Homo-oligomer: A and B are copies of this chain.
């Protein structure tokens, strides 16, 4: 008997349910090659060996069409240049009605308003929106409401398919010709590519934009080549100095010093404040000041933190160098000290936004946090937090990791001054809920510390430790005793302008256009 020839019929007859495909092997076209150094693809084998093309070619090859969804990361924060460069080509190609689903929008993206007016962009999705773009959206100029997600919620949406990205345009400060990319090397470095890593993996087409093509293979691989379709060289992807978000400033404001002391009081009187505790610090003035006090207690008590998570600044980097923190887990660098550190220090580890906070994977890093310090524009007596809409109702903030960390951390501490301008920041009902009150454990103002009544264990602990508490109602009443009750904003409930998603993708709140 001769050896059977492998045909489809033979395989189907004899190998059903074996776990293999019932398709016989077909050799690809004859393997002839040239050694041209410009070899992009061996025609006979379809093996891609060089993905560098110009931006227009990359966009055309991606098959981008009207109505599709594109994405960007915001690791360059106010110094971003990539969105502008890409949108100019998209406009030139005449592609319209796009959904732009960036990880966030900053002051660098105000020009998107015009693209919306002109019809190139139909909808926005992001963690936040600021400056003129925030005002533009709040004024109802975009017919489709902005979708607001936390960092973890966005990663969840991408990984689950709720947010299907057709083309991801990911800027990287160093990339080789195959797309192995990082944000740690090069003149335009921004540090961690935490947001970008998720988009790059899940987008239908991933385009790396770089102003620094390095030799193959790149020595640090944050985005691997097996996630990348094209590599585009541009003059400048972003301004390194621009990553300094503007949100980071050490405070000299006496109010913030008091808040900082109160934050510290909460932490050091908690039974969780012991060796190997973990913490995520905010980037607000008071929370960074709290770090100052916290360090003193740590040194006095001989306490070392197992890790810092975030959102990393020079403050965590210093703590590491001072031996107060063992490891840094970084989804975004907020300043150049963090950028240098993530490159040089093996204990400073880059993590993706999904690893960081996606609530639907097998456990993101936020799950092991002991403490998180968060800021707020306003809070209400039910512990709900608004970081998004100002006292005028205009969108000017970002959800960020707020709701992710608040829900996951053992003790979430939200801090804010009791009074800003002539308004109480503790109100009856916040304008917009970004972080639901059942996940907020402690609210700290310059007036005092309030513990969520749900946390009987904390109430007990603080009582035993002699930490005096106030209720949020007391705080509100005290503030309103000084500045009066603010006139409620009049909203046009027929004109929703933004949808706030909770971490799990359900709808938490709606932001409307103001009346008039």
Q: Which residues does A use to contact B, with CB under 8 Å? A: 1-4, 6, 11, 14-15, 18-28, 30-35, 45, 47-49, 51, 99, 123, 125, 144-145, 147, 162-163, 178-179, 206, 215-217, 219-221, 224-229, 271-272, 276, 306-307, 327, 329, 346-347, 349, 351, 354-355, 358, 361-365, 367-368, 407-408, 410, 436, 438-439, 441, 452, 454-457, 491, 493, 496, 499, 501-502, 504-510, 512
Contacts and interface: CB of A to CB of B under 8 A. Distances in A.
Most buried by B among A179, A354, A362, A512: A362
A178 B3 CA distance: 52
Given A49-B367, A206-B362, A216 B306 contact: yes
Nearest to A228: B362
Contacts of A351: 221, 224
19 contacts: A4-B493, A6-B509, A19-B162, A19-B163, A22-B507, A23-B507, A25-B436, A31-B438, A31-B439, A31-B441, A31-B455, A32-B454, A45-B407, A47-B363, A47-B407, A48-B367, A225-B362, A226-B365, A228-B362
Contacts of A51: 363
Contacts of A220: 346
Contacts of A438: 27-28, 30-31
Contacts of A272: 35
A219 B347 contact: yes
B457 A35 contact: yes
Contact of A24 (B18, B455, B507): B507
Specify how many copies of this chain sit in the oligomer.
Answer: 2
A48 B363 contact: yes
A153 to B, nearest CB: 11
B19 A355 contact: no
Given A25-B506, A362-B228, A455-B32, A144 B1 contact: no
Nearest to A502: B25
Contacts of A271: 35
A192 to B, nearest CB: 14
Contacts of A48: 363, 367
B219 A408 contact: no
Contacts of A221: 349, 351
Given A362-B225, A368-B217, A506-B25, A457 B34 contact: yes
B499 A18 contact: yes
A219 B327 contact: yes
A436 B27 contact: yes
A251 to B, nearest CB: 30
Nearest to A51: B363
Contact of A362 (B31, B227, B439): B227
Contacts of A510: 4, 6
Contact of A363 (B24, B226, B436): B226
Contact of A15 (B454, B457, B496, B508): B496
A435 B461 CA distance: 68
Contacts of A45: 407-408
Contacts of A30: 438, 454
A368 B218 CA distance: 13
A507 B21 CA distance: 7
Given A306-B217, A368-B216, A410-B33, A18 B493 contact: no
A147 B20 contact: yes
Given A206-B362, A349-B221, A145 B15 contact: yes
Nearest to A276: B215
A123 B362 contact: no
Give 9 nearest A-B pairs by CB, closest first.
A226-B361, A25-B508, A25-B506, A27-B438, A25-B502, A23-B506, A21-B505, A226-B355, A48-B363
Nearest to A270: B35
B21 A217 contact: no
B368 A178 contact: yes
Best-buried of A23, A363, A407 by chain B (most CB within 10 Å):
A363
A14 B143 CA distance: 12
Contacts of A217: 306-307, 327, 329, 349, 365, 368
Contacts of A436: 25, 27
Nearest to A145: B18
B25 A507 contact: yes
B145 A33 contact: no
A436 to B, nearest CB: 6
Contacts of A23: 505-507
Contacts of A225: 355, 362-365
